[in-house]
Amino acid sequence: MVGLETAFEILGGKGQLAGVLGITVRALNYKLNADRGVSNLDLTWTAKALEARGNKMLEHAAKLRVVLADGDAKS
């Protein structure tokens, strides 16, 4: 499933996504190859992990903007 492939790329690899789903990389490969189904729970957990990663990125971006606004960053 392309959605899971994109997710593991964003999360840092198949091992990361497998960990989120509580399965092995081998089991994840079966899902990616459509040899096993992808459940609504798989998609829910994947979405939550992506949201958490996205929130961390947004928080860090906000911190960087504060530094810029304070004039502490050097060009």
Cα dihedral 43, 46, 47, 53 in deg (nearest 10): -170
Residue 1 has pLDDT above 90, yes or no: no
The tokens describing 46, both together, are 């994947």
Q: Which runs of consecutive H residues, i.e. helices, occur in 1-75?
A: 2-11, 14-21, 25-32, 40-70
Could you tell me the pTM of the whole model? Answer: 0.84
Note the pLDDT tens digit of each residue in 43-61. 999 999 999 999 999 999 9
